[in-house]
């Protein structure tokens, strides 16, 4: 398996533009997480899906952020409009729920820069 695949790896955009980050989880995993990592705030959970259904989106900073998981093999995180303070590394992670607690596998991340 290729692991969790995120695209793009790097994104530079101008303030006010829409940004869409993409994630393909590991096949067979039924939990998906979006995290944001910054020096100031560390790893923050933005949203968590189980079987394609959003379970907890309390970490989504504001209405400018939205996430979807239309099927088990694809998820998007959208920021509209983007702001410089959204600059961070965004990680997607997936996990299998079977067998109790199991390892969460992270993608390589998308480094977002909003100028």
Partner 1 sequence: QQQVKQSPQSLIVQKGGISIINCAYENTAFDYFPWYQQFPGKGPALLIAIRPDVSEKKEGRFTISFNKSAKQFSLHIMDSQPGDSATYFCAANKGDYKLSFGAGTTVTVRA
Residues that bind partner 1 (CB under 8 A): 4, 31, 33, 42-43, 45, 48, 50, 56, 91, 93, 97, 100-101, 103-109
Sheet containing strand 74-79, edge to edge, reads: 5-7, 19-24, 74-79, 65-71
Q: Is the dihedral of CA 3, 48, 57, 52 positive or negative?
A: positive
For residues 65 and 91, which CB has a smaller minimum distance to partner 1 in the complex?
Answer: 91
For residues 19 and 29, which CB has a smaller minimum distance to partner 1 in the complex?
Answer: 29
Query: Shortest approach of partner 1 to residue 57 CB, angstroms?
Result: 11
Other Cβ atoms within 10 Å of 48 Cβ, number? 20
> Nearest to residue 87, comparing CAs of 34, 21, 37?
37
Query: Shortest approach of partner 1 to residue 19 CB, angstroms?
Result: 19
Query: Shortest approach of partner 1 to residue 75 CB, angstroms?
Result: 15
């Amino acid at each position: 398996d290729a692991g969790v695949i995120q695209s793009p790896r790097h994104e530079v955009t101008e303030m006010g533009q829409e940004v869409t980050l993409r994630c393909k989880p590991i096949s067979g995993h039924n939990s998906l997480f979006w995290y944001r990592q910054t020096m100031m705030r560390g790893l923050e959970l933005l949203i968590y899906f189980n079987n394609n259904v959003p379970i907890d989106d309390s970490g989504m900073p504001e209405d400018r952020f939205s996430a979807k998981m239309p099927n088990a093999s694809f998820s998007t995180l959208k920021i509209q409009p983007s702001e410089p303070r959204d600059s961070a590394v965004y990680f997607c992670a997936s996990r299998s729920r079977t067998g109790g607690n199991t390892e969460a596998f992270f993608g390589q991340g998308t480094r977002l820069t909003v100028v």
